[in-house]
Amino acid sequence: FIGMTATPTIIAVDGQSWGIPIVKINSEVVVRYKAKHLICTNFDTIPYLIGTNRLPGKTMIMCGTIADCFTLQSQMQNAAVIISPHRKEFTGEMRRIRAHIIKNESLPEYFNFTKPDGSVERRPLEVLIATSTLREGLTLRETSGVRNIVSCIPDELHVTQFVGRCRYDLDNIVVAERPTHV
């Protein structure tokens, strides 16, 4: 078998993994796409970065929990949320956004936001907030307008796989730590 990975350090240690030898073909990791800036911050600064246009262009954010997704959305006007279709909170609007991304390799221009009173408002989609459900299985092209990727899960696997949805150079990768409370 010949395979490729964006995260070789998590697959093999000293050439061994899963009880079988792994032979590296390339001496170095091949990096095709890059970002101009890496920003390391915390979860609470994300709305500030977006609200003050420190992250111009469209942004995709990966949160560690559904609650964090909705917390961020409540602080941003033009942000939609997508979670796993297997969760009870999954909506038809999330299905529509996911289908658009898969079909067009781009975010939809607008989304339907349901207000607390039940009324629906059409809003421009500038920020897409998701759980790790969007870490794999879709591709975005440069014409999508997504210029920034934010990962609130700071480990290498999640960051690399989420950033890998974009098949082009980015302006900013933001890694935002979410402190855990005991």
User: Could you tell me how far CA 162 lies from the centroid of its own chain?
Assistant: 5
126 in Cβ contact with 151 (< 8 Å) = no
Parts of the chain with a pLDDT under 50: 182
How many C-alpha atoms does 19 have within 13 Å on its Cβ side? 0
pTM of structure? 0.83
- What are the strands of the beta sheet with 35-42, ordered from one edge? 35-42, 170-177, 146-151, 58-62, 127-130, 79-82
Give pLDDT, residue 182.
45
Cα torsion 34, 37, 40, 44: sign: negative
Give pLDDT, residue 55.
96
